Amino acid sequence: MKMICYSGYVVNSTDMDKIGSLVYGSLVNRVLADIFSMVHDINHIYSLTDFDEDGQADSIGVSLVGVTIVTDRQSREDNYALSGNLEMAEEYLTRFSLYNFSNVCAAIALTNRPFKDRVGNRVNGVTYRVDPNNKYFKFYGICAKPFQYLGPRYKNVLVTTAKNTKSLKRIERTATIAHELGHMFGAYHDDPMDPLCSPDTVNGFYIMHTHAINGYLFNNNKFSPCSKRRMSKVLQLRSDCLKEEKTVCGNGIVEEGEECDCGTVDTCDTIDKCCTPSDVPLTSLDRPCSIRSSAGYLCTPSTGTCCTLNCKYKPRGEVCGYSSECRKTPTCTGISRFCMIGEALKDGTLCANGHQSCKQGECSQSLCFAKGLRGQ
């Protein structure tokens, strides 16, 4: 059974042209398509994470419950908390927390505004830190209870911003939201002095690195062991927060029984021509949220890196992912959309700059074992 953190997104109409600038179509559809794509990628990251480190992913995902677009007229009203030229990310976050988000696991504001932190540094995102040992724990993080101070405030919120005066690329926004959600799940920044959780290797840093990551390197889409330990504790304490996954064709998330999900006709034309929209006529030869096989399509790149933009399988041997310190570069088979995991290197191969060794394709074994030693 997959358990989901259902999230709500809020977009200011004044920011929409910048947020949707990297995709095509009408403005609203561009923004929706962009959000669908980001949620899909974030869900993929969380779904593959083994939080309790028992060797298996824990089937915990992130999905979309709704998108609110604040119109120009609404943003000019006197009671709109997010109006004005706010420069501090924390101030925007505080005002965002005034709205009622009791019906979602997390609320995300897409602002595209260049914010600073308290010491004047530019930031890509901001949220409240969660500490399970703090007496106010219940007021922070996913599914937080309302904090009563001059009225109810909701601390299950995060804000993404622009980078200086430039819009973040979609992959950067995805990395930012995954990072800030990580804080809401209980993760802290990885200690830069810890070689296990901040490895200075070709694989890059993990999601919760102190500084913003670009999302392109192997570790950029993974949580460090340090993060997973903290997040696992919060998940245990907030076990009633997540909801059982329900299949809803048209929400942009691929769920049980679906081959793909690109939303409606309007958004599918923008982001995924290989997939059948949720609102196709009853006379359609393809059922909603399935591959458009009637057009000769075999797959969609939204659910497999070995699928081309023309909805065909990539040829055998084509590189489809990143190599890691403990695995060879993965390649396509030519008969599937899925990227096969790279072959594991020999157990005992050194990794993490010589601080650990490989075991069954993962950099997880002590050097003592690699050298045939045993600790007391």
Note the CATH number of domain 2-245: 3.40.390.10
Instruction: Report how far residue 199's alpha carbon sits from residue 339's, in angstroms, rounded to the nearest whole number.
Output: 25
Token representation of residue 293: 């096989």
Q: CB burial class (10 A; 0-12, 13-18, 19+) of residue 137? A: middle
Binned at pLDDT 50, 70 and 90, residue 84 comes out as low
Binned at pLDDT 50, 70 and 90, residue 215 comes out as confident
Helices (H), 168-256: 170-184, 225-237
pTM for the whole structure: 0.74
In this structure, of 163-172, 179-188, 245-254, 321-330, the range with the lowest mean pLDDT score is 163-172
Query: Within a 10 A sphere around the Cβ of 7, how many other Cβ atoms?
Result: 26
Whether pLDDT at 22 is above 50 = no
- Name residue 204's amino acid: G
pLDDT given at position 120: 77
- As a whole number, mean pLDDT of residues 178-191 equals 95
Residues 6+ positions from 133 with CB-CB distance below 8 Å: none
Higher pLDDT, 17 or 365: 365
Identify the H or E element spanning 148: strand 147-148
Give tens-digit pLDDT for 272-308.
899 999 999 888 999 999 999 999 999 998 888 899 9
Give tens-digit pLDDT for 53-77.
888 999 999 998 888 877 665 555 5
Whether pLDDT at 24 is above 50 = no
In this structure, of 120-129, 286-295, 310-319, the range with the lowest mean pLDDT score is 120-129
Token representation of residue 344: 């594991």
**Contact call for residues 292 and 299 (beta carbons, < 8 A):** no
The residue behind tokens 């009225």 is: 151
**Contact call for residues 43 and 253 (beta carbons, < 8 A):** yes
pLDDT given at position 208: 96
pLDDT given at position 11: 83
Tell me what the pLDDT averaged over the chain comes to: 84
Give the residue among 366, 339, 369 at the shortest CA–CA distance from 355. Answer: 366
Q: Is 91 a catalytic residue?
A: no
Give the residue among 296, 305, 348, 350 at the shortest CA–CA distance from 325. Answer: 350
3 state SS of 313: strand
Give the residue among 207, 234, 233 at the shortest CA–CA distance from 221. Answer: 207
Q: How many Å separate Cα 290 from the centre of its chain?
A: 23
Domain spans, the chain: 2-245, 346-375
179 known ligand binder = yes
pLDDT given at position 185: 96
Higher pLDDT, 349 or 202: 349
Work out the angle at residue 10's Cα, subtended by the Cα atoms of residues 9 and 13, and round it to the nearest 5 degrees: 135
Give the residue among 125, 126, 128 at the shortest CA–CA distance from 147. Answer: 128
Token representation of residue 153: 């405030």
Beta bridge partners of 61: 4
355 known ligand binder = no
pLDDT given at position 98: 84
pLDDT given at position 26: 58
- As a whole number, mean pLDDT of residues 335-341 equals 89
Instruction: Report how far residue 66's alpha carbon sits from residue 74's, in angstroms, rounded to the nearest whole number.
Output: 18
Which one of 53, 90, 180, 245 is the catalytic residue? 180
Higher pLDDT, 140 or 159: 140
Percent of the chain with pLDDT over 90: 34
Instruction: Report how far residue 203's alpha carbon sits from residue 208's, in angstroms, rounded to the nearest whole number.
Output: 14
Cα–Cα distance list, 144 to 139, 241, 250 (Å): 5, 9, 28
End-to-end CA, the chain: 40
- As a whole number, mean pLDDT of residues 321-329 equals 85
Higher pLDDT, 297 or 116: 297
- As a whole number, mean pLDDT of residues 253-274 equals 86
pLDDT given at position 352: 79
Whether pLDDT at 199 is above 50 = yes
pLDDT given at position 190: 96
